Amino acid sequence: MRTAWECRHTLAYVSTSAITPRYPNAASDPRLINVNDERIALRKIVSDGEWLGKDVSVQKCQLKILSAALQDGKFYLPKF
């Protein structure tokens, strides 16, 4: 006779139902931010703002955060 643990263990490998992802890849998930695209846009905002003499300290801080995330290998960040 099989134990309950053996049955659960067998079902985990035999079950053909798989969880289908909501989005096919991270690039199409609207809940994620593409770090590199956002960093490029912020670099332009900071550069233009500095040229015009505007205060862009908040954007510089965001740029540092995104650059650090990219260096850590995080290509997508959640929006929440």
**Per-residue model confidence (pLDDT) at position 1:** 56
Note whether residue 39 is domain-resident: yes
Note whether residue 30 is domain-resident: yes
Please give the residue that has the higher pLDDT: either 73 or 9: 73
The boundaries of the domain holding residue 28 are: 24-78
Which residues face 34 on adjacent strands?
76
Note whether residue 14 is domain-resident: no
Q: Are 32 and 78 in contact (CB under 8 A)?
A: yes
**Per-residue model confidence (pLDDT) at position 52:** 96
Cα separation, 38 vs 19, in Å, equals 30
Q: What's the number of domains the chain is made of?
A: 1
Note whether residue 37 is domain-resident: yes
Q: Which pLDDT band, with edges at 50, 70 and 90, does 3 fall under?
A: low
For the segment 10-63, what is each residue's pLDDT rounded down to a tens digit? 555 555 567 777 888 777 888 999 999 999 999 999 999 999 999 999 999 999
